[in-house]
Amino acid sequence: MPFVKIWIHLVWSTKNREPFLTKEIRQKVFMPIRENANEKGIYIDFINGHIDHVHCLISLGVSQNIATIMQLIKGESSFWINKNNLCAGKFEWQEEYFAVSVSESMVDKVRDYIKNQERHHQFKTYAEEQEDFRRIYGFEKLG
């Protein structure tokens, strides 16, 4: 039996960065995301976000890949949001996302960063955060 622990920090946004994810809606949405992920064997260590995006710390399983995990999480959660009529019109997630590996020594720091999204975004927009991610992790600007 393989022993695998690969931490991944995932970040994705609402379609067109619509400010849909109020604190109340985030509280409603994150529970089904956790439940659906658990049913699929996806281990979510921590999830939080802000008005227009979500951060998630996961431990990647031995037979899992990031693209499939993102498809499951985003697909099932947008279906759940629409089924429960949590927004006017059709809710969608943006297609793009960030995924970066996290060393074991940095897990607590990333967890704290995710936990403190409300405070963090008092000083920085999601667009600024995206630019930081692109610069820090060497992603080329899309489009």
Amino acid 84: pLDDT: 95
Give the CA angle between residues 114, 92, 58 to the nearest 5°: 30
pLDDT digits (tens, 9 = 90+) for 67-93: 999 999 999 999 999 999 998 889 999
Q: Which domains does the chain have, with CATH numbers?
A: 6-137 (3.30.70.1290)
> How would residue 141 be classed by pLDDT, with cut points 50, 70 and 90?
low
Give the CA angle between residues 21, 134, 56 to the nearest 5°: 40
The CA distances from residue 131 to 63, 83, 126, 136, in Å, are 31, 33, 9, 8
Q: Which residues contact 65 (CB under 8 A, 6 or more apart)?
A: none
Q: Is 44 helix (H, G, I), strand (E, B) or coil?
A: strand
Please tell me the distance from the alpha carbon of residue 21 to that of residue 19, in angstroms, as a whole number: 6
Whole-number mean pLDDT of the chain? 92
Please tell me the distance from the alpha carbon of residue 102 to that of residue 100, in angstroms, as a whole number: 7
Beta bridge partners of 58: 8, 44
Alpha-carbon 26 to chain mean position: 12
Tokens of 65: 């890949």
Beta bridge partners of 48: 55
Q: Say what percent of the chain tops pLDDT 70.
A: 98
